Amino acid sequence: MKKIQAEFLEIYKLALKAKKRAYAPYSNFKVGAALKTKSGKIYTASNVENSSFGLTVCAERIAIFKAVNDGYKDFKIIAVCADKEVFPCGACLQVMNEFSPELKILLKIEGNLKVFKLKELLPFGFEKDFSL
C-alpha cells in the first residue's frame, strides 16, 4: 500500500476536527471536510442540516463555497470523514469538478486512508463546455 504523506494526514485530522461542529440533528450523520488550495490555504466545514430537509448542505460543498468566496478556486486535495465510511455525494463531486477536475479526495476506506482522483469517483461529470 502507498504511504500517505504527512501533509495528507494533517488535512484528514482537520476534517475530523471540523466534523465536531456538524449540525446534524435529523440524520445524526456528522461529516467533516478539509480542503487545501493549491496555494496552501485550508478551509474546513461540516454538514449543516435544516428541519426542511432539502435545505441541508454537505460539508464538502460548504468548504468549497467558503474557499471560492474567499477568492480561491484551485484546489489540491479535500479530506472527508464521518463516523462511518463515506464517499462524497454526487452533487459535491460535481461541485468539485467545476473548480478542480484534478482534485484528490482523501477518505478512510476499510480502515485505511486512501487517496482517490476525482475522475475515479466522477468519471463522466458535467463539463463547463457542454452547455456552451
Q: Which residues contact ligand THU by CB under 6 A?
A: 24, 27, 29, 31, 47, 49, 56, 58-60, 88-89, 92
Beta bridge partners of 35: 43, 78
Beta bridge partners of 117: 104
Min dist. Cβ of residue 61 to ligand THU (A): 8
Active-site option among 60, 85, 102, 127: 60
Q: Estimate to the nearest angstrom the gap between the alpha carbon of 105 and the chain centroid.
A: 7
Cβ within 8 Å of residue 64, ≥6 positions away: 35, 43, 75, 78, 92, 95, 96, 99
Min dist. Cβ of residue 13 to ligand THU (A): 18
Active site residue 60: yes
Q: How far is CA 19 from CA 26, 82, 117, 122, in A?
A: 15, 7, 22, 24
Min dist. Cβ of residue 87 to ligand THU (A): 7
Output 5 or 83, the one with its CB closest to ligand THU.
83
Output 39 or 51, the one with its CB closest to ligand THU.
51
Output 5 or 117, the one with its CB closest to ligand THU.
117
The amino acid present at 102, given as its one-letter code, is E
Q: Which are the catalytic amino acids? A: 60
